[in-house]
Structure 1
Amino acid sequence: MTQTQPVKAEPVRVRASRLRDWLAPPVTESRAWGWILPLLVTAFAGFLRFDRLAVPNAVVFDETYYAKDSLALLEFGWEHNAVKDADRMLIEQGPNADIWGEGPAFIAHPPAGKWMIAIGEWLFGATPFGWRFMPALIGTLSVLILCRVGRRMTGSTLLGCAAGFLLALDGLAFVTSRTALLDIFVMFWILAAFACLLIDRDVSRRRLADLVEQGRGGPLGPFVMHWWRIPAGICLGLACATKWTGLYYMAAFGIMVVLWDMGARRAARVPNPYAGAVLLDGILAFVLLVPLAGLVYLATWWGWILRPGGWGRGTVADNPLLRPVEALPDLWNYHKEIFNFHNGLSTPHTYQSWPWDWPILRRPVAFYYTEPREGCHVDRCAKEILGIGTPVFWWGALIALAVLIVVWLARRDWRAGAILAGYLAGWLPWFVPALRDRTMFLFYATPMLPFMALAVVLVLGMLIGPARPRPVSLAKGPQLLHPEQRRILGAAVMGAYLLLVLINFAYLYPVLAAKVIPFGEWDARIWFDSWI
């Protein structure tokens, strides 16, 4: 009997140690630099996005819908029809212009993103700067979050900042951050949800390791509360409340966290890891990521629910406390109409593209184009906003994603799997409507951008190698180069690649930011006929 305690104690320590090996890599830099450098990259991204934000002084592409709908939310609480010349009147007369037509407007997307655009219009008026303010702010904050996410996933502040740097210099991220469209908000909330789930992964695994060491839990293992899944559920709800494409990420992330939980309990070698992951983690994960997100989604419809007059709203209860309940049937019918609209949307468009076109940037979107005389000192000039990604970044990301597929299949590296899940959740679902000729555009790929950047920096990090020896359980066999030589070579490759992305973005900048340039210079930047 006296020997039973040491025999049981040693395996517990081994289990906990093995579980900690599969946490995110330890960060080698100080916590101060972990914030200073990301904030510097964010400031750079912010300068790019806010500089000349009011240019052009015109309604750009689908701003004609979202700028007016957002203004209507401020005025009525729901989207309202506007007169035909509302574009001119919004710019010249501001938010008090008499632009409203007859009755409510039918809309194609939920209101969360338009509420965010409305914040800028409330602060700065219904002007180009006003309706572009929040996209620019959210696009800038996305860079900060990505820097921190990359730092957590790679264990390197420099690699994390490289991910943010790539997002800051991507042409599509830049353009969607400077126009009042919805896709940048979808990207932001999905990235924020992903960041919360990463934090939860580390926090919950450390807690599980502690409880295992203490001998807590039965055959299923100990119960661990995943607090960070609450803000993740809120963020996913806001993503879905901006565009329904957030549902794809909710499904992908839901599967991902269940697999993480199974892996954690298996690494801790509890007797029934899969049953424990489903019963102790999975059910609660569903509640925190689905019903909670649903409540958040409903809350964004508050103006339509609580105020009379919205599209299909029907009779409104006299008692405001009863309105949320009696509004649900009308809201359900409204959603069926929206679904039917999207399901039948097949009207040909000049700039439409297919999901298999997106990774290679075959067909971008001309958000704005004119040939002005003012500011033009040659015979012919061009002024354009071309919604296109930075080619060096996008084509490099294709190679990185292919590498990560091999890495995940060979090593089951959780980071590679998470990045691939995020990328594929934004890409694969579009193949089904594409087969029905559903109209779609390149900027629908905006939520995939952070995962492309993470793919690139993760592969670069693998090329550079770890800053310190990894645990024995994670060793990957013999190395062809001495670690110091490998790090020098890898750092040189990373620096060269980031420099190429910077040069590529700078070259395209005039056609991304509506600069007036000679037509010949514009034509030189249009590399393929399909870009026109």
Structure 2
Amino acid sequence: MAVTATYPIVDGGEPRTTVVTKSNRDGLSQRERLAPPMPTDRLAGWLASLAIAAVAGVLRFWQLTEPRGIYFDEVYYTHDAYGLLTHGYELSDIKSGCDGPGFVVHPPLGKWLMAVSEWLFGYTDCAGIRHGSPELGWRFASAVAGTLAVLVLARIARRMFRSTLLGCFAGLLLAFDGLAFVQSRIGILDIFLMTGLVLALACLVLDRDHGRARLAAGLVDASNIPLGGQASKDVSEAGNDNQESLSSLYKTDSNKLRFGARLGARPWRLACGLCLGASLGVKWSAVYTLVGFAALAIAWDAGARRTAGARRPVLAAVRRDGPQWFVSFIPLPVIVFFATWTGWFVTDGGYNRHRFGDGVWAALHGWWYYQQQIFHFHEHLDASHPYASKPLSWLVLGRPVAYFYSTPKAGEPGCTSPAGCSREILAIGNPAIWWVGVLALVGVLALWVSRRDWRAGLVLVGFTTSFLPWLAFPNRTMFLFYALPLLPFLILGLTALAGVALGPRTASDLRRLVGSLTVGIYAIVVVLLFVYFYPIMAAQVIPTSAWRVRMWFPGWI
């Protein structure tokens, strides 16, 4: 006997009403389990996401050209971008007179993005002559990337949790995180890596939704199917609990009963591979996330086909989805990564370009040898640095990096304190996001273990593939900003637990009130902490006494 029941979801979304049968005890039909409905407030969802992205953009672009001149690793990457812009390859440093190619240790895509920005707004040439607005030239692309990441994360969190409120919550956290803010205002590579991975994440989730929607569209009513032959035998032998789902699956073809339908082209999966390849073209460390996303994709395929009633879901995923999975996650990222080196191949002056002679094969040999040299550099990088830190300390913001620091005297521009002032750019995350986010991973793990929530699984895979590999290099010189790719996954973990706190619409008024107050107060604390630390992240001139009270721990100085 079928009964009507409301299925409560724990992500702050709308309750659903469906038909519960013996073979559907969780209260969801096959179609609903495969493709849960999206929120209906599409226009409001876009407006809210764009509003949060606009706030993030204002924060990132405001006084972007301050401080004037080059600071921290801009000394390397802005010059590399200038070389790409003018020669198609990176040049030796200015001290050497830019008289030849430079050996660089990261792929060129992030620097190409900066080169476009320098072409638009300005740069400093090898003679030290300023053209246009150089600071805007080498920081503009970073600010665009940081703002785009906020918009994309808000939109994809809305899709993941089927809640505009939770999507905006995720976007707000990224907009007001200090590390993301600082990295969006400096001409170095890490913001491009994070944004590339956020785009890959978005494409991965979109592919999951679209693939499952196609499977759901292939389901038909069992009462309309004239079963016969092997299909009828399969259904009759399946047992009462499975007869309904098997008989309603893709009409009568036996292969379809065993493996499910073919889904056709998977453009979002290809786009995911493209974004992962582009991320590799910024920094090699994206390879770990590529492996994690590839594993998630095939696991989700098997889960979707199991939900759709495939008798052999793992084999079905390999057989039906495997070819496109292979193309998307193996050759495509490699091809895209290779393409980011186009400037090196089509010019003659790049480092190692003619080390083994002329011709295509000599160029390929030189390029491969170049990659080996880069690998050797990273493998043996152990130079001391006052702001170096170990990966475990990143989780507690143990050693943020001072990108810029000066001590204006009383009477100098902006300094009114008789005791003198301080001006700093400190790359530090928002403690309310990082500290609480790391603790929240325990709750995310519990959510995955108890409910097999795919969103919790995504958070855990994204976090572990972005963090754990660094533990394998205990002697390497590393910095807190290497942890930037962890941030979107910490935020999604916090968003998942915020959904649990809010509860379903069918929860009691008291439960909803307590959950709303908890999430709301937390969001306010995040914003207030960002405001509190803003002066030491944006090179504002403040009294040295005010600077000291923001140095909560000795490791922050």
Normalization by structure 1: what TM-score? 0.89
Q: Corresponding residue for 2:12?
A: none
- Distance verdict in 2 for CA 1:179–1:11, change over 3 Å: same
The Cα shift of 1:288 comes to: 1.0
Q: Corresponding residue for 2:59?
A: 48
The root-mean-square deviation of aligned C-alpha atoms, in Å, is 2.1
Q: Does 1:347 align with 2:383?
A: yes
Q: How many pairs does the alignment contain? A: 490
CA distance in 1, matches of 2:79, 2:33: 49
The Cα shift of 1:210 comes to: 2.2
Contact 1:131 1:180 (C-alpha < 8 Å) held by counterparts: yes
Q: Can you list the C-alpha shifts for 1:1-47, whole angstroms capped at 9, x where unaligned?
A: xxxxxxxxx99999996443334653434110110000000000000
Q: Corresponding residue for 1:182?
A: 189
Q: Corresponding residue for 1:518?
A: 543
Q: Corresponding residue for 2:336?
A: 296
Contact 1:171 1:389 (C-alpha < 8 Å) held by counterparts: yes
The Cα shift of 1:383 comes to: 0.6
Q: Can you list the C-alpha shifts for 1:161-208, whole angstroms capped at 9, x where unaligned?
A: 110100010000000000011110011111101101111111101111
- Distance verdict in 2 for CA 1:513–1:23, change over 3 Å: farther
Q: Which amino acid aligns with 2:165?
A: L
Q: Does 1:194 align with 2:201?
A: yes
Q: Which runs of 5+ in 1 are unaligned?
A: 1-9, 85-98, 470-481
The Cα shift of 1:453 comes to: 1.1
Q: Can you list the C-alpha shifts for 1:120-158, whole angstroms capped at 9, x where unaligned?
A: 101000111110000001100100001101101111111
Q: Can you list the C-alpha shifts for 1:261-303, whole angstroms capped at 9, x where unaligned?
A: 1111111221111111122213321211221111111111011
Contact 2:34 2:308 (C-alpha < 8 Å) held by counterparts: no
Contact 1:25 1:153 (C-alpha < 8 Å) held by counterparts: no
Q: Corresponding residue for 1:109?
A: 106
Normalization by structure 2: what TM-score? 0.85
CA distance in 2, matches of 1:424, 1:252: 9
Q: Corresponding residue for 2:284?
A: 244
Q: Corresponding residue for 2:364?
A: 328
CA distance in 1, matches of 2:293, 2:356: 37
Contact 2:257 2:309 (C-alpha < 8 Å) held by counterparts: no
CA distance in 2, matches of 1:398, 1:362: 13
Q: Corresponding residue for 2:258?
A: 219
CA distance in 1, matches of 2:536, 2:37: 41
1:334-483 correspondence to structure 2 within 5 Å: 334-373=370-409, 374-375=412-413, 376-378=415-417, 379-434=419-474, 437-467=475-505, 482-483=507-508
CA distance in 1, matches of 2:176, 2:316: 44
Q: Does 1:121 align with 2:118?
A: yes
CA distance in 2, matches of 1:15, 1:466: 16
- After TM superposition, the structure 1 stretch with the greater mean CA deviation from structure 2, 13-22 or 124-133, is 13-22
Q: Can you list the C-alpha shifts for 1:435-485, whole angstroms capped at 9, x where unaligned?
A: xx0010000011111111111111011111123x6xxxxxxxxxxxx4332
* Aligned-partner SS, 2:387: coil
Contact 1:18 1:268 (C-alpha < 8 Å) held by counterparts: no
Q: Corresponding residue for 1:472?
A: none
* Aligned-partner SS, 1:385: strand
CA distance in 1, matches of 2:181, 2:158: 22
The Cα shift of 1:326 comes to: 4.5
The Cα shift of 1:315 comes to: 6.5
The Cα shift of 1:316 comes to: 9.4
- After TM superposition, the structure 1 stretch with the greater mean CA deviation from structure 2, 392-401 or 496-505, is 392-401
- Distance verdict in 2 for CA 1:521–1:23, change over 3 Å: farther
Q: Does 1:527 align with 2:534?
A: no
Identity %: 44
CA distance in 1, matches of 2:44, 2:35: 18
Could you tell me which of 351, 354, 359 is aligned with 1:314?
A: 354
* Aligned-partner SS, 2:98: strand
- After TM superposition, the structure 1 stretch with the greater mean CA deviation from structure 2, 63-72 or 281-290, is 281-290
- Distance verdict in 2 for CA 1:209–1:24, change over 3 Å: closer
CA distance in 2, matches of 1:77, 1:305: 9
Contact 1:382 1:522 (C-alpha < 8 Å) held by counterparts: yes
- Distance verdict in 2 for CA 1:253–1:122, change over 3 Å: same
CA distance in 1, matches of 2:79, 2:27: 56
Contact 1:166 1:393 (C-alpha < 8 Å) held by counterparts: yes
- After TM superposition, the structure 1 stretch with the greater mean CA deviation from structure 2, 485-494 or 171-180, is 485-494
Q: If each structure's helix is expressed as a fraction of its own residues, which one has the higher value?
A: 1
Q: Can you list the C-alpha shifts for 1:365-387, whole angstroms capped at 9, x where unaligned?
A: 01111112332122311110000
Q: Corresponding residue for 2:37?
A: 26
Q: Which runs of 5+ in 2 are unaligned?
A: 1-20, 124-133, 221-249
Contact 1:184 1:446 (C-alpha < 8 Å) held by counterparts: yes
* Aligned-partner SS, 1:181: coil
The Cα shift of 1:413 comes to: 0.6
* Aligned-partner SS, 1:353: coil
